[in-house]
């Protein structure tokens, strides 16, 4: 079990729930990092008394330093803050809960420092899965998924031979627009897209769930975590979000993991595996949860899922283009500058423009991400 953690992205949805788990289990928290929310970071630091906190914005870091004077907590900022946090002595596990590709470098640095990673930041594997998993293997560190679907698959594979598994069945809630057709989505507002039917999450992943890009990113994440090719990863829409994912074996058995949609369950498991600790999280009552249903995803309407499969097939830097264009487009949509259906359009345009580098290094991935974000930004100014 993890005994001493660093939490990257402590003020977000996953970050706050991780601290609840850490509080319940008595896990020591050595560092907390965030982008700009110093009010919450201050409260968290005063409760958990970490050795270090870091806030990305330098001016806010100076303000936080004043507020934490006398606490004995070092206050850092910028990329150096995240880097220093993942290098603190005595830490066994880094919880990677930053949103977006901003989480990539600190997560790789955590692995290079020999820390196990409890991974929520799926964009790390989407953009650099090959590099990250190879590095983890070289350093002998564990990358345990926090994403509920991947946590489910991890559990469904445990105790079985991987070569006996035929397919991964990733479940998707379908988001708030399940059943709608493309022409019904053109006027959708950010407020409507932020109304997720079953999960309560940060704004970027909630929009990704509405476009089904979240499932696309998870297909790519599953490819790198479990080593299955895209044709062996099937998405099933399961609106109740009770079955978190399944593995289909060659004898016809399908093993599923079930539970209430409560992220504290997979977060705790990532910190205790293979042990399971008692917890007062939401319990599943099978007599009350109603019928469990399944549908094919509609990839004509929700084109982001199709684009994610295409990016995975193309390989190299293409998933980085998919991810970067998506991050840029979601930001523009949340700002009210583009429509919901512009999100897949901008991503597809970026992918069509891109010449794939088939064996990118980390620098190429960062450069590709910068290029695509610039391009998406410029394309809406024309
Ligand atoms: N939420 C879920 O239920 C869920 C489930 C599965 C997977 N995930 C994945 O987990 C990750 C986090 O999701 P979320 O929903 O928790 O996001 P969120 O609520 O938006 O939180 C993001 C966190 O990252 C911090 N952050 C952003 N840029 C940073 C930087 N450069 N350095 C340090 N911290 C930075 C934010 O700080 P500020 O608060 O200061 O901005 C915040 O603490 C995403 O990759 C998401 O796909 C989330």
Model confidence over 231-269: pLDDT tens digits? 999 999 999 999 999 999 999 999 999 999 999 999 999
CA of 64 to the centre of ligand 1 (A): 20
Over range 151-163, report the average pLDDT.
98
Nearest CA to ligand 1 atom 25: 9
What pLDDT does residue 380 have? 83
| DSSP states of 270-337 | HHHTT------PPPP-TTTS-----B---TTTSHHHHHHHHHHHH-TTHHHHHHHHHHHHHHHHHTTS
Give CA–CA dist 224/119, Å, rounded: 13
123 touches ligand 1 (CB under 6 Å): yes
By percentage, how much of the chain surpasses pLDDT 70? 100
Q: Where are the alpha helices (DSSP H) in the chain?
A: 13-25, 38-48, 58-67, 78-85, 104-112, 122-139, 148-157, 190-193, 203-211, 213-226, 264-272, 303-314, 318-334, 342-353, 362-381
Nearest CA to ligand 1 atom 10: 120
What pLDDT does residue 370 have? 98
Over range 323-327, report the average pLDDT.
98
What pLDDT does residue 77 have? 98
Provide CATH 1.10.1740.10 ranges for the chain. 150-375
pTM over 0.85: yes
Answer for the pair 187, 341: CB distance below 8 angstroms, yes or no: no
CATH for 150-375 is 1.10.1740.10
What pLDDT does residue 381 have? 78
Give CA–CA dist 14/171, Å, rounded: 20
CATH for 4-145 is 3.40.50.720
By percentage, how much of the chain surpasses pLDDT 90? 97
Of the CA atoms within 13 Å of residue 141, those in its CB half-sphere come to 26
What pLDDT does residue 199 have? 82
Give CA–CA dist 107/358, Å, rounded: 22
260 touches ligand 1 (CB under 6 Å): no
9 touches ligand 1 (CB under 6 Å): yes
For residue 165, pLDDT over 90 is answered with yes
Helix (H/G/I), strand (E/B), else coil: 381? helix
What pLDDT does residue 382 have? 61
125 touches ligand 1 (CB under 6 Å): no
Mean pLDDT of the chain: 97
Maximum separation of any 2 CA atoms in the chain, in Å: 63
For residue 203, pLDDT over 80 is answered with yes
Residue in 6, 8, 12, 110 to alter for ligand 1 test, most ligand atoms within 8 A of Cβ: 12
For residue 46, pLDDT over 70 is answered with yes
Over range 304-326, report the average pLDDT.
98
Grade residue 196 by pLDDT with cuts at 50, 70 and 90.
confident
For 260-296, write each residue's pLDDT tens digit: 999 999 999 999 999 999 999 989 999 999 999 999 9
Q: Please name which of 154, 93, 155, 146 lies closest in space to residue 270, comparing C-alpha atoms.
A: 146
97 touches ligand 1 (CB under 6 Å): yes
For 343-372, write each residue's pLDDT tens digit: 999 999 999 999 999 999 999 999 999 999
**How many C-beta atoms lie closer than 10 Å to residue 13's C-beta?**
19
Give CA–CA dist 154/366, Å, rounded: 29
Beta-carbon contacts of 349 under 8 Å, excluding residues fewer than 6 positions away, are 325, 379
Q: How far is CA 179 from CA 241, 344, 376, in A?
A: 16, 18, 29
Residue in 6, 10, 14, 218 to alter for ligand 1 test, most ligand atoms within 8 A of Cβ: 14
Provide CATH 3.40.50.720 ranges for the chain. 4-145
Give CA–CA dist 300/69, Å, rounded: 55
């Amino acid at each position: 079990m993890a005994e001493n953690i660093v939490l990257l992205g402590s003020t977000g949805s996953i970050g706050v729930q991780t601290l609840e788990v850490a509080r319940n289990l008595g896990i020591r928290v050595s560092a907390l990092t965030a982008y700009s929310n110093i009010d919450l970071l201050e409260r968290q630091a005063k409760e958990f008394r970490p050795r270090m906190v870091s806030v990305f914005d330098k001016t806010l870091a100076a303000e936080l330093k004043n507020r934490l004077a006398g606490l004995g907590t070092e206050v850092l900022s910028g990329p150096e803050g995240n880097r220093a946090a993942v290098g603190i002595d005595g830490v066994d596990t880094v919880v990677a809960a930053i949103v977006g590709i901003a989480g990539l470098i600190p997560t790789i640095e955590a692995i290079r420092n020999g820390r196990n990673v409890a991974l929520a930041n799926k964009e790390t594997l989407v953009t650099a899965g090959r590099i990250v998993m190879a590095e983890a293997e070289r350093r002998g560190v564990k990358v345990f998924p926090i994403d509920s679907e991947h946590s489910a698959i991890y559990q469904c594979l445990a105790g079985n031979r991987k070569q006996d598994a035929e397919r991964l069945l990733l479940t998707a809630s379908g988001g708030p627009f399940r059943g709608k057709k493309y022409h019904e989505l053109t006027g959708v507002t950010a407020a409507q897209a932020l109304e997720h039917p079953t999960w309560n999450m940060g704004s970027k992943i909630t929009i990704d769930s509405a476009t089904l890009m979240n499932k696309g990113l998870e297909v790519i994440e599953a490819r790198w975590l479990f080593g299955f090719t895209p044709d062996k990863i099937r998405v099933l829409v399961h609106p109740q979000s009770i079955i978190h994912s399944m593995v289909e074996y060659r004898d016809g058995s399908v093993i599923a993991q079930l539970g209430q949609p409560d992220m504290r369950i997979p977060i705790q498991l990532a910190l205790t595996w293979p042990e399971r600790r008692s917890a007062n999280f939401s319990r599943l009552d099978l007599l009350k949860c109603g019928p469990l249903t399944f549908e094919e995803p509609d990839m004509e309407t929700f084109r982001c899922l199709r684009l994610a499969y295409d990016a995975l097939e193309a390989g190299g830097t293409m998933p980085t283009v998919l991810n970067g264009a998506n991050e840029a487009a979601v930001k523009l949509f949340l700002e009210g500058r583009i429509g919901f259906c512009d999100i897949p359009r901008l991503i597809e345009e970026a992918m069509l423009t891109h010449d794939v580098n088939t064996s990118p290094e980390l620098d190429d991935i960062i450069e590709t991400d910068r290029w695509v974000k610039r391009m998406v930004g410029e394309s809406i100014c024309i």
